[in-house]
Amino acid sequence: MKFSFASLALVTLLGTASIQAASAQTMEKTVMVGGAAMYPSKNIIENAVNSKDHTTLVAAVKAAGLVETLSGPGPFTVFAPTNEAFNKLPAGTVETLVKPENKETLTKILTYHVVAGRMTAADLMKAIKAGGGKAMLKTVQGETLTAMMKGKKIELKDEKGGIATVTIPDVMQSNGVIHVIDKVLMP
C-alpha cells in the first residue's frame, strides 16, 4: 500500500485532532480536591459534587437552595469548608441548620463564604499587601471577612474572630474560583 505525503499528513492531522478532542478535559489544569479532579471548564457545583471532602457543604448548599445560583455565570470566589471543618462545629449544628425552618440562617452562613468576582490567591495576597497586612472582603451575605497572611498561607478572619486557613488555593472553575478552607466561617 502506497501513501502519498498528502494522505500521510492528513492521517496524522486527523489522528492528532482526535487525540486532542478525546483528551481535552485531561489536558485542563486540574486540581485534586477530595479525591476528584476539579475541571476549570466545569462550574462550582459540577466540581464540588465530586469532592469527597465537601459532601456536607454540597448538602448544605442544596438545603439552602443555592445550587442554581452557584451554577450560574458568577464569577464567584468561594471559600469552601471541608467536611472536617463542619465536624468542628458543636454537635448537632449541621443537622439543625439543614432543617427547612433554618434555611434563612443556613443561607446567611453559606453566602458569608462567597465573595463576588474571581479572586485568585495572588489577587488576595496583593490586596493583603496593599491593605498593610489585611484585606477586607465584602461577602455576598453583606458582612466582611478579613484576609491576612500567616507565613505563606492565607487566613480568613470572620466577624466572630474565628480564623480559617486556605488549605488548597486556586481551584479554578468556569464561573469563579474555590479556595478550600479548614473552618466554617461565621457571620
- At 55-66, the pLDDT tens digits run 999 999 999 999
Proportion of the chain above pLDDT 90, given as a percent = 84
DSSP state of 33: E
> How many structural domains are present in the chain?
1
* DSSP labels, 160-179: TS-EEEEEEEEEEETTEEEE
Q: What is the pLDDT of the chain when averaged over all its residues?
A: 89
Answer yes or no: is 77 within a domain. Answer: yes
20 domain-assigned:
no
Does residue 90 sit within a domain?
A: yes
| Residue 99 contacts residue 130 (beta carbons within 8 Å) | no
Where in the sequence is the domain holding 133, given as residue range(s)? 30-181
- Whether 61 is covered by a domain: the verdict is yes
* 21 assigned to some structural domain: no
pTM across the whole model: 0.85
CATH at residue 135: 2.30.180.10
Q: Which three cell numbers stand for residue 47?
A: 466540581
11 falls within a domain: no
Query: Which 3 state secondary structure label does DSSP give 23?
Result: coil
Mean pLDDT (whole number) for 117-141: 98
- Residue 117 in any domain: the answer is yes
Strand 135-138 and strand 144-150: pairing?
Answer: antiparallel
Q: Is residue 128 part of a domain?
A: yes
